[in-house]
Amino acid sequence: MEPLFGVVLGLMLAVASPAHDSCTCATNKWAVCAQDGPGNCTCRLAGSDHPVDCSTLTSKCFLMKAEMIPLKEKRLWRPPQGMSDSDGMYNPDCEDSGVFKARQCNQSSTCWCVNTAGVRRTEKGGSSLSCSELVRTRWIYIELTHKRSSSAFTVPDVAKALTQLFESRYKLQPKYIAAIKYDPPLIQIRLDQNKKPRWDVDIADVAYYFEKDVNNDSVFASNSKLTVSVNGDALAIEKLWIYYVDEKPPEFSMRQLAAGIGSVVTVVLLTAGIGIAVLLILRWLRTRTYKKFECKEMREIKTPSLE
């Protein structure tokens, strides 16, 4: 009887183990998943109660929030590499749908307005700052360079490889890829998404996933290294820059612009002043040398010859 019980128990464990292992979120390594029923796996964001749809990309706002929460099993933790925008990593406020709230604040009551990509588009102010709307990021420009290769890539081949990458890995429909230009080793990609249906991924989320992949900090549960192949040859990405263009221009004050112009003017004036000073010193040295030479000649003329 006991051997039979052991066999039955072993079969139960063998069946249960694959189900447990399969309860993971393929598109979000920070998701916490649990088997809450036969064949039913529920995943939620670390540190919050928001459910995660693992069949598509997680919103950038939710990802940034999850990155700011240290994992319990780690004794020491520091945030990963900062974002490509000038303000870097921060703990965002998100709507239940996953989009950024128009106004973001830090712990010191400093607030600012952001776009749908979470990038600051106004001056920083106090807690009384009002953000009337969440302005949509319509265009995203991605510039990247790749390492030199012995193989020559053509423009159509590079465009095809990157289009397939964005479609298969990031679930982005090709219609949102407005243009891909290639001038070795520079590649320029423009993502254009004026309006986003609910079922489509957002280009801001795609850009964030792509940035994390390039920086070897993949969000995907497999944490697999990004590989881009062009006709069987590897396209090794070396550097990456991302630029955001909103439906409305940013609302930075003229004071900041004036400060920037003032700094430029100050540098120009200092450079000009140093140049003038150097010229005056050189002229003074030449004049002094000429006077010394003239005095020496006069002394030689006035001195009578001993012969």
Question: What total of structural domains would you count in the chain?
Answer: 1
The answer as to whether 142 is a domain residue is yes
Tell me: pLDDT of 56 over 60: yes
Look at residue 126 and tell me whether its pLDDT is greater than 80: yes
Q: Is residue 288 part of a domain?
A: no
Q: What is the mean pLDDT of residues 153-180?
A: 94
Residue that has been written with the tokens 């139960």 in this structure: 12
pLDDT in tens, 61-79: 999 888 887 644 433 333 3
Given a cut of 60, is residue 17 above it in pLDDT? no
The answer for residues whose C-beta is within 8 angstroms of residue 30's C-beta and 6 or more apart is: 45, 46, 63, 66, 67, 219
Is the residue at 306 inside a domain? Answer: no
| All residues at 6 or more sequence positions from 135 whose CB lies less than 8 Å from its CB, including other chains | 102, 113, 115, 116, 121, 246, 247, 248
Q: Domain for residue 10, yes or no?
A: no
In a domain, 276, yes or no: no
- Give the per-residue pLDDT at 10: 45
Q: Which residue range forms the structural domain that includes residue 222?
A: 31-73+87-251
Residue 208, H or E segment:
helix 203-214
* pLDDT category of residue 296 using cuts at 50, 70 and 90: low
Give the list of residues 6+ apart from residue 292 with CB closer than 8 angstroms, or none.
Answer: none
pLDDT above 70 for 83: no
Residue 51: left (phi > 0), alpha (psi -120 to 50), or beta? beta
In a domain, 207, yes or no: yes
pLDDT higher than 50, residue 58: yes
Structural contact between residues 179 and 141, judged by C-beta atoms closer than 8 angstroms: no
pLDDT above 70 covers a percentage of the chain that reads 73
Phi, psi of 42 (to 5 degrees): -110, 130
Residue 95 near residue 101 (C-beta atoms within 8 A): yes
Of 186, 100, 189, 175, the closest CA to residue 140 belongs to 189
**How far, in Å, CA of 221 to CA of 224, rounded?**
8
Can you tell me the distance from the alpha carbon of 166 to that of 214, in angstroms, rounded to the nearest whole number?
A: 13
Contacts (Cβ under 8 Å, ≥6 apart) of 121: 113, 114, 115, 135, 246, 250, 251, 252
Mean pLDDT value of segment 219-229: 86
Rounded distance, CA 81 to CA 88, Å? Answer: 9
Q: How far apart are CA 189 and CA 176, in angstroms?
A: 11
- pLDDT-wise least confident of 8-22, 29-43, 178-192, 293-307: 8-22
In a domain, 243, yes or no: yes
CB atoms within 10 A of CB 299: 9
Residue pLDDT, tens place only, 28-47: 998 989 888 777 888 988 76
Angle between the N-to-C axes of helices 155-170 and 203-214, in degrees from 0 to 180, rounded to the nearest 10: 110
The verdict on residue 300 lying in a domain is no
